[in-house]
Structure 1
């Protein structure tokens, strides 16, 4: 089966700036795919290239096997949901949702039926007569989704659609987006700079940096087995050790990372007890209460800063006071070897 989206050698230059630098990518039909990266990493430009809002400087773009590299946006079977929703304030909600069908020449009765069906899908069946300004931010986001899915595109592109929502509403919309994608069975391509969002929603993630994909894989693979210090630090919180620190702390060469939740704290006189775990002496620098967990900043005897995440329900409670003498314990198997060097030893992002 042809992939829903296939990019081959795609580049995009804006003057002297290489916004996209030789991207090769295939996205399967029915996949929830996320493009993750900081501002300026190229992820949004790739989305705009798929949508047809930008033309590539080089390379080819195929949708379900058809070359659409030079095709206009309206010639592509895709739809886009933007962060600002782009709803028409002078139209009713129902007319907003039905607008794409109207442009396509669908008859009035069918337009209304399909628009009402789309509103029901996003759990807003009773707001059709309202104006967008009469709705909350979360409701407007749902209306934008309904307008996008009512035309039944093969691919739905989402450009940081949850960025303007508060935390609780964003978490709720993440669940609803995933459920909607499963219900529709169409390909979702989601652009975000929020690592938790990408990990929560995606079947696969492409991590972008400087116009390139630096790692591609499942959320678990990217989080548990990052290929570089950049990925390890950008996707979640981690403790990074460069070559010198790795030799000093771990007794091995190369760059390494270990996630804070893989570490545990113990009393100052704790030992490995033959388990093979590494047990390092440290002093507590700061304790941050997070509700379900404590984020404990410690400094090892050699001066290396380390972050430990201790669950509040854990058998070993996190120290409560700065200056406490403790030990940091972890299994060697939880240490991940990385390609490249970190900028500084013990760098924690």
Structure 2
């Protein structure tokens, strides 16, 4: 692996009038990495992708691709390609012609571009679909054609702007697996923009969580999920029980702001001799493989508990049931410490 990052962003800032869409982002993306930029609408992630691609020019800062400063280079002068959510396939062209189009623009001869297009389609398991029109394909197949078209020109990095957003849930889950396999087979850097936390956690080697134009947290999926650094990350990535200072002092016996994931909580009957806090089941939400319990504690707090519907779940909980809720202290994440005491 090269010591030079595939992509380096330094102090990257983009302002639109009086609005700062990207605010001083510093980031290195490793060659061959599947890197996701995750955040809600308006968090700056798509603008960063457009700055990398050259579709926007930064107000301040720089963009380097494989050690080369491309801050002011045109999109066609950057060794990257982009896959968009709407696929942007030419409806009048066959699948093979769509994939070969970028090679044609580059002046590659007919025989070579046909061969390379076939190879690219083979990599996405659509080699036998070259003569079909895009209208004859499913949504997932069109997405794979878009991937083949983007990779046939052999870019060093592929930028993906919410490419699975238009697919239904089942197809999106299938494409997540296929996308990771394609990235592994190609061995090139993927930069994936999404607002879907499950996609980011499933696909990524690392994730940057964006909020208000800045990177709120950068880390592996397990680091982002198990050790969020702020209220925003804890609540945006997955579901968390957020305990403010008062709740922390009541339930944990210490000040500060804390978080604990619903699946880390355990529920038992009140007559079972285990440590815990007492409460009443306010709502039961069945989701097939799991059940979500909303529990109102006697101390005034409300907690969400997630239980897997497996053989270890001995009984169904019902609204109004009295329960005990317990947790391991090691599963509690500190989001902010109490302020230091002032010295008089």
TM-score (norm 1): 0.94
User: Against the structure 1 CA distance between its residues 115 and 34, is the aligned structure 2 distance closer, same or farther, given a 3 Å change threshold?
Assistant: same
Q: Where does structure 2 lack aligned partners over 5 or more consecutive residues?
A: 339-344
1:255 maps to 2:266? no
C-alpha distance in structure 1 between counterparts of 2:314 and 2:74, whole Å: 60
Which residue number corresponds to residue 286 of structure 1?
283
Counterparts in 2 of 1:1-349, with a 5 A limit? Answer: 1-272=3-274, 278-317=275-314, 319-339=316-336
Task: Please identify runs of 4+ aligned residues in structure 1 that moved more than 4 A.
Answer: none
Deviates more, 1:283-292 or 1:142-151: 283-292
C-alpha distance in structure 2 between counterparts of 1:317 and 1:106, whole Å: 66
Cα deviation code 1:245-269 (max 9, x no counterpart): 1111111100000001101110112
C-alpha distance in structure 2 between counterparts of 1:64 and 1:42, whole Å: 23
Secondary structure (helix, strand or coil) at the match of 2:128 reads coil
Cα deviation code 1:193-230 (max 9, x no counterpart): 00010000000000000000010000000100000010
C-alpha distance in structure 1 between counterparts of 2:84 and 2:311, whole Å: 42
Q: CA deviation at 1:4?
A: 0.3
Q: CA deviation at 1:175?
A: 0.3
C-alpha distance in structure 2 between counterparts of 1:340 and 1:334, whole Å: 16
- 2:255/2:337 contact within 8 Å kept: no
Secondary structure (helix, strand or coil) at the match of 2:233 reads helix
C-alpha distance in structure 2 between counterparts of 1:206 and 1:313, whole Å: 34
Q: Where does structure 1 lack aligned partners over 5 or more consecutive residues?
A: 273-277, 342-349
RMSD of aligned alpha carbons:
1.1
Q: CA deviation at 1:288?
A: 1.1
C-alpha distance in structure 2 between counterparts of 1:314 and 1:13, whole Å: 54
C-alpha distance in structure 1 between counterparts of 2:85 and 2:273, whole Å: 52
- 2:13/2:60 contact within 8 Å kept: yes
Secondary structure (helix, strand or coil) at the match of 1:133 reads helix
TM-score (norm 2): 0.96
Deviates more, 1:313-322 or 1:164-173: 313-322
Aligned residues: 336
Secondary structure (helix, strand or coil) at the match of 1:47 reads helix
Secondary structure (helix, strand or coil) at the match of 2:127 reads coil
Secondary structure (helix, strand or coil) at the match of 1:118 reads helix
Secondary structure (helix, strand or coil) at the match of 1:226 reads coil
